Amino acid sequence: MGRLSKREIVELSNNYMMTNVARWWEDDPIVVESGKGAIIKDVDGREYIDLHAMHAVASQGYSHPKIINAVKEQLEKIFVVATDFYNEPQALLAKKLAEITPGKLKRSFFVNSGAEAVETAILLAKRAKSRPGIMALWMAFHGRTHMPRTLTGFSKYKKGMGAFPYGVFHIPNYYCYRCPLGLEYPSCNLQCARMVDDALKYAAPEDVAAFIAEPIQGTAGNIVPPADYFKVVKNILNQYDILFIADEVITGFGRTGKMFAIEHFGVEPDIMTMAKALGGGFPVAAAIATEEVGTSFKPLDHYSTYGGNPLAMAAALAAISVIEEEKLVEKAARDGEYMLKRLRELMDKHEIIGEVDGKGLLIGMELVKDRKTKEPAVEETVKFRSELRKRGVIIGPPGWTGSRVRINPPLVITREQIDVAINAIDESLKAIKR
């Protein structure tokens, strides 16, 4: 079979794939052929600097040789081993995660995706506490299977989907730029965090097993909480003997300038979920818990046929090794500070930028029609993404407001590529004002 053209690939996909699959720039979609580092290349040979990293998956960059070699070596041995059996890469990865995660996290359960990791965490929390209730945040995103969709605090992914599992309730999130309570930080006294106590009182705390939150809300727009938010929340949870689940599917493995984002906020989770960068692009995910919580599962309480397969485990071990050997955590911290500085400098030139905030290489840039009213510049954001693409830079879809630009490139991005991308952002913002 000969090499397919771009048109043929698009036609086949549109004819045989389900229509729920969204494509960017439908009038002229990108058909990806290959990638290296922070660059992706389409079938027509055009290269793009990637500020998206495939939803923050490709933290180690595309086609990293160490990950490729680890997968090749494991392929030649065995790559299908069900959870019923032991295998060496799985044992080594479980030990490694216990060593690098914060606090007393120790026991892992391996699955294939972030949504499955969240499903595992919720099931484990309910088993550990023998309670049905779960608390989550407005604007949260935890996945698209049934329980994670229920936990997600955004109506777009819930309408028309039927009844949701019992016991999930939401409270206001930590969106300081657009505070849902109409307050301002720090005079607000972290009321969004203190509302956890009020919500629990009204929800019957004896029925609540866990509170789940992203340390930084990624899909919502890379929204960073106030420094003490999680300390206040965790103190309240401790009073009611309620577990804290940190969803690090997007934020984990160096992206924020710490190995895990929750380390910025000085609290220790009881359960943590992880995926995306864990496999360096290979589909692998996990939930990890403390000894007390992690031993709550009984045999066959939970199961994953492919979870913990040696191929995925080998890829994950190599992916973590890349992060450590290339010091990508430290690099993300340095490059994140540099990008924030450059982007904030653009605020002096472009009134459309209402806010720039982030941790490491997880950055949100709010585009507004007016800085005083903070009206979201939704149409302008759509145009901005298209202008960026014309200049050889791609970013992902905006956050829930439709105007919060999400910037999360591969952690291996070079300083030269960052400068090219920043200049392209500058030029694109000029273009949409014309």
Domains and CATH numbers, the chain: 6-60+327-432 (3.90.1150.10), 66-325 (3.40.640.10)
Token readout for 354 is: 């209402």
- Alpha-carbon distance of 382 to 337, in angstroms, equals 26
CB 215 within 8 A of CB 246: yes
What is the reported pLDDT for 23?
Answer: 72
Token readout for 415 is: 């300083």
Distances (CA, A) of 149 to 46, 85, 112, 114, 157: 36, 31, 17, 12, 7
| Residues whose CB falls within 8 Å of the CB of residue 29, separated by 6 or more in sequence, listed in order | 10, 23
What is the reported pLDDT for 2?
Answer: 60
**pLDDT tens digits along 344-396:** 999 999 999 999 999 999 999 999 999 999 999 999 999 999 999 999 999 99
CB 396 within 8 A of CB 57: no
**pLDDT tens digits along 174-233:** 999 999 999 999 999 999 999 999 999 888 888 999 999 999 999 999 999 999 999 999
For the sheet with 362-367, list strands across it: 353-359, 362-367, 404-407
- Alpha-carbon distance of 244 to 196, in angstroms, equals 12
What is the reported pLDDT for 21?
Answer: 62
Instruction: Describe the crossing of helices 378-390 and 415-432 by its angle, rounded to 10 degrees.
Output: 130
Element (H, E) at 341: helix 328-346
What is the DSSP secondary-structure string of 115-136? HHHHHHHHHHHHHHHT--EEEE
CB 105 within 8 A of CB 95: no
CA 37 to chain centre: 19
Write down the residue that tokens 């069900």 correspond to: 82
- Alpha-carbon distance of 15 to 18, in angstroms, equals 8
Distances (CA, A) of 50 to 41, 342, 368: 10, 17, 24
Token readout for 41 is: 């290349």
Assessment of whether the complete model's pTM goes beyond 0.85: yes
What is the reported pLDDT for 186?
Answer: 95
CB 399 within 8 A of CB 219: yes
Token readout for 399 is: 């956050």
CB 320 within 8 A of CB 253: yes
Closest CA to 412 of 67, 65, 61: 61
- Alpha-carbon distance of 126 to 119, in angstroms, equals 11
What is the reported pLDDT for 321?
Answer: 98
Instruction: Describe the crossing of helices 310-325 and 88-100 by its angle, rounded to 10 degrees.
Output: 40
Token readout for 113 is: 């995706």
Residues of the chain with confidence (pLDDT) below 50 = 1
Closest CA to 291 of 15, 57, 105, 152: 105
